[in-house]
Amino acid sequence: CGVFGIWAPGRDVARLTYFGLRALQHRGQDSAGIAVGDGQTVLVRKDLGLCGQIFSDADLAAMPGKVAVGHVRYGTSGARSWEAAQPHLSTIGDVIIALAHNGTLVNSDKLRLELIRLGVPFLSDTDSEVAAKLIGYFTEQTSHIREGIRNAMEMIEGGYAMALVRENALYAFRDPHGIRPLVLGKLDDDSWVVASETCALDIIGAKFQRQVRPGEVIRISDDGVVSEQAVEPRACATCIFEHVYFARPDSVVNGRSVYSMRYEMGRQLAREAPADVDLVIGVPDSGLPPAEGFAHELGLPFGEGLIKNRYVARTFIAPTQEMREMGVRMKLNALPDNVEGKRIVMVDDSIVRGTTSKQIVRMLKEAGAKEVHVRINCPEVKWPCFYGIDTAVQSQLISARKDPEEVCDFIGADSLAFLSLEGLLRSVPTDGYCDACYTGRYPVEIPPAFSAGKFL
């Protein structure tokens, strides 16, 4: 998911949030929503679909206010429904808040039952609504939203980056491991912005200030910006898959663009698994920068071999295998002019189920490629993610069951190699990372009830 928040009295906060969400649309296409605080109350508008389809000019004009949050959803918990769309509104007593959440909570089922017992109603089955109601409940109990957020952060476990709006203030906070990303930016008139990625700051002309720290709560209101370490930070475990696949290449993390990291992954991959070929191609979009790096490292030509239809959303969202297979063909087509008669290296970001690679290899061969050598710029995905990326249950992860040679056979490639974990870590800034989908080393313990049926 993508989250965005803005505190900008005197500005059109709903419209600026809309622009921020457009820049974060790659982070989720299930639903989108905006919540505005106008000093008196909080108004939410959300729906299924892309934000460009949901919000008209008139809708945005009808949402005046000085503070807002927005969300684009990529469902990892709960069904794809209007009720599951965010921001989630929580009205308990006279406390009205709206919450936008990126990530997944691993213990929300237990907390939901406790809240239901306390008489708190639920509209959806999502973990995010549990977080919203939990914060609302504790805020009502303690009369302080700081206490509400702190109490909730002490209870919820998992990966989360959240932006919350009240009638007159914006709050932003991250889980104590910093699994999901969140950055703070500033407009030139002392307005403040938070967003999942810096590309959402760029679009509205905000300047990057810093990352929201793990376990930190930032409050932005008429009293300015106040930071509080609400819960003790734990070992830093930023999601490394953001750098491999999820984030936009023009986003910057620790002073380095995601593009430059992916380029470096490709160079590293070329050193680890070179190939004697005529052309290096990348699978658009996230395979392109590492393909460029791969070609550069070996002094090989880099060119376009696959053309992407830019009007089709990411394929992972499609629920059934049949739709997923259709999805790849709707999205990508081979370019025979460049690949015919050639030995090709095809670089892609990851193999999850193997569906995408299999179809692309076939497409390239049908377009006349003599050999197709697949290079993947991350290690084998062997473990499910429980912190906000939908990498399927373990039995569906092809590398959990097959070694690289068998996967190579399955996808019909002439050779296959994955970037090593060491090589991946060498290509990114030296933070602490979560790499559980490759190693099974989960930074936050997964309760058995939550992982039931998801491991082999």
348 binds ligand 5GP, rule: CB under 6 A: yes
412 binds ligand 5GP, rule: CB under 6 A: no
Answer for the pair 378, 350: CB distance below 8 angstroms, yes or no: yes
d(CA 107, CA 449): 9
CB of 373 to ligand SF4, least distance (A): 26
d(CA 456, CA 452): 10
If you ran DSSP here, which 8-state letter would residue 243 be given?
Answer: I
Among 391, 394, 399, 427, binds ligand 5GP (CB under 6 A): 391
CB-nearer residue toward ligand SF4: 194 or 240: 240
Among 6, 273, 374, 385, binds ligand SF4 (CB under 6 A): 385
Binding track over 245-284 against ligand 5GP, x by CB under 6 A: x-------------------------------------x-
DSSP character string of 82-128: TTT-SSEEEEETTEEEEEEEEEEESSHHHHHHHHHHTT---SS--HH
Residue 57 burial (CB < 10 Å; 0-12/13-18/19+)?
exposed
378 is catalytic: no
Among 19, 241, 302, 316, binds ligand SF4 (CB under 6 A): 241
**From ligand SF4, ligand 5GP, none, interface partner of 434 (C-beta below 5 to 8 A by class):** ligand SF4
Separation of CA 358 from chain center? 25
Quickly tell me which residue has 């008489």 as its tokens: 119
CB-nearer residue toward ligand SF4: 138 or 386: 386
Residues 136-175 that bind ligand SF4 (CB under 6 A): 159
d(CA 263, CA 400): 27
Among 434, 444, 446, 450, binds ligand SF4 (CB under 6 A): 434
387 binds ligand SF4, rule: CB under 6 A: yes
d(CA 152, CA 163): 14
d(CA 132, CA 46): 16
CB-nearer residue toward ligand 5GP: 7 or 160: 160
Tokens at 87, concatenated: 């921001």
Residues 220-239 that bind ligand SF4 (CB under 6 A): 239
Given the rule CB under 6 A, which of 49-57, 73-81, 249-257, 384-392 is the region that contacts ligand SF4? 384-392
Residues binding ligand 5GP: what is the number (CB under 6 A)? 19
d(CA 285, CA 427): 19
Residue 317 burial (CB < 10 Å; 0-12/13-18/19+)?
middle
Centre a 10 Å sphere on the Cβ of residue 114 and count the other Cβ atoms it contains.
Answer: 13
CB-nearer residue toward ligand 5GP: 131 or 389: 389
Among 120, 389, 428, 434, binds ligand 5GP (CB under 6 A): 389
Residues 103-122 that bind ligand SF4 (CB under 6 A): none
C-alpha radius of gyration, the chain, whole number: 22
CB of 343 to ligand 5GP, least distance (A): 22
By annotation, the residues acting in catalysis are 1
